[in-house]
């Protein structure tokens, strides 16, 4: 069964550094998402992406964050200047269609980001 | 805003015990409801879903019924196995203006099943 793959599985970075988290969604999916989970807290929606543009973003997704689909297969999340509070597990997801009830999200295994 | 509340864990059970993980929600419209499971070292996987009131979602022996009157979607399994040990997330989804699959998750409940 096709999977969403994320790399790396664990990233350690220093505060203030830029970090790029990478995802390869399922190939025939059209909608892409990033979620994150700070340790012990809820999984939170960050952003959704369709047709090469952001379709929705949360208040967490401020100017420090950006997403890109650079080459038709990868989907990246960039954090420009990391803060300690960005430490979390970041999940990428994709779906064929919109409307979760008919087109479930497929999640990757996550990238654990640790900011020191 | 919309939210999901689920029981805190960890929930520790012996094999073949009955499982209930409570989940309640707050939503302005008519959400779809989901249970996701995360096995150790893996991503979130859809376990089951229900899209309207009184629907029952079921998969792998797990069941949950969409109860609009109590705004609940409790997860149940009659006889758990060690392999069911995982974190279980309750979630809801509403379509905002016909837009995206924005899931709102609960905090997750760790289930540990002992042989």
Contact B18, B78 (CB under 8 A): yes
More confident residue, A105 or B66: B66
Residues of chain A contacting B, Cβ within 8 Å: 4, 6, 31, 33, 35, 40-45, 48, 50, 55-56, 91, 93, 95, 98-101, 103-105, 107-110
Of all residues in chain B, what percent carry a pLDDT higher than 90? 70
Confidence of residue B85 (pLDDT cuts 50, 70, 90): very high
* Cβ neighbour number for residue A1 with a 10 Å cutoff: 4
The minimum CA-CA distance between B109 and chain A, rounded to whole Å, is 10
The span from the CA of A73 to the CA of B15, in Å, is: 43
Mean of the per-residue pLDDT values of chain B: 91
Residue B43's pLDDT is 83
The span from the CA of B43 to the CA of A96, in Å, is: 18
Contact B57, B79 (CB under 8 A): no
The span from the CA of B28 to the CA of B39, in Å, is: 31
Residue B101's pLDDT is 65
Distances (CA, A) of A116 to A14, A15, A67, A83, A104: 5, 6, 23, 8, 35
Residues of chain B contacting A, Cβ within 8 Å: 4, 32, 34, 36, 41-46, 49, 51, 89, 91, 93, 95-96, 98-108
More confident residue, A71 or A75: A75
pLDDT in tens, B33-51: 999 999 988 888 999 999 8
Confidence of residue A95 (pLDDT cuts 50, 70, 90): confident
Distances (CA, A) of A13 to A35, A77, A112, A116, B55: 19, 15, 11, 6, 46
pLDDT in tens, B52-79: 899 999 999 999 999 999 999 999 999 9
Chain B residue with minimum CA distance to A111 = B43
> Is 80 exceeded by the pLDDT of residue B107?
yes
> Is 80 exceeded by the pLDDT of residue A103?
no
Distances (CA, A) of B52 to A18, A66, A101, B5, B73: 43, 35, 10, 19, 11
Cis, peptide link before residue A8, omega less than 30° from 0: yes
Written as six digits, the tokens of A63 are: 């100017």
> Is 90 exceeded by the pLDDT of residue A89?
yes
3-class state of residue A3 by DSSP: coil
Residue B100's pLDDT is 54
pLDDT in tens, A9-68: 999 999 999 999 999 999 989 899 999 999 888 899 999 998 899 988 999 999 999 999
More confident residue, B8 or B6: B6
User: Do β-strands B11-14 and B109-114 pair in parallel, antiparallel, or remain unpaired?
Assistant: parallel
Which of A40, A42, A46, A53 is the mutation pick for testing B, counting most B CBs within 10 A? A42
The span from the CA of A35 to the CA of B2, in Å, is: 17
Residue A101's pLDDT is 52
More confident residue, A99 or A115: A115
């Amino acid at each position: 069964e096709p999977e969403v793959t994320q790399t790396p599985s664990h990233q350690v970075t220093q505060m203030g550094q830029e970090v790029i988290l990478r995802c390869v969604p399922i190939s025939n999916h059209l909608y892409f998402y990033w979620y994150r989970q700070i340790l012990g807290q809820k999984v939170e929606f960050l952003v959704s992406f369709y047709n090469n543009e952001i379709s929705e973003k949360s208040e967490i997704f401020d100017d420090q964050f950006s997403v890109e689909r650079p080459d038709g297969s990868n989907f990246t999340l960039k954090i420009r200047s990391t803060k300690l509070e960005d430490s979390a597990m970041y999940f990428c997801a994709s779906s064929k269609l919109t409307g979760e009830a008919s087109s479930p999200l497929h999640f990757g295994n996550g990238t654990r980001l640790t900011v020191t | 805003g919309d939210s999901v509340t689920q029981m805190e864990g960890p929930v520790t059970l012996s094999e073949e015990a009955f499982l209930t993980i409570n989940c309640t929600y707050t939503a302005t419209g008519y959400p779809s409801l989901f249970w996701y499971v995360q096995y150790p070292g893996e991503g979130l996987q859809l376990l089951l879903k229900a899209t309207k009131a009184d629907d029952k979602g079921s998969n792998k022996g797990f069941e949950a019924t969409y109860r609009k009157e109590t705004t609940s979607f409790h997860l149940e399994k009659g006889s758990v196995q060690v392999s069911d040990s995982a974190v279980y997330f309750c979630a809801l989804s509403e379509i905002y203006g016909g837009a995206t699959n924005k899931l709102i998750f609960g905090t997750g409940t760790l289930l540990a099943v002992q042989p």
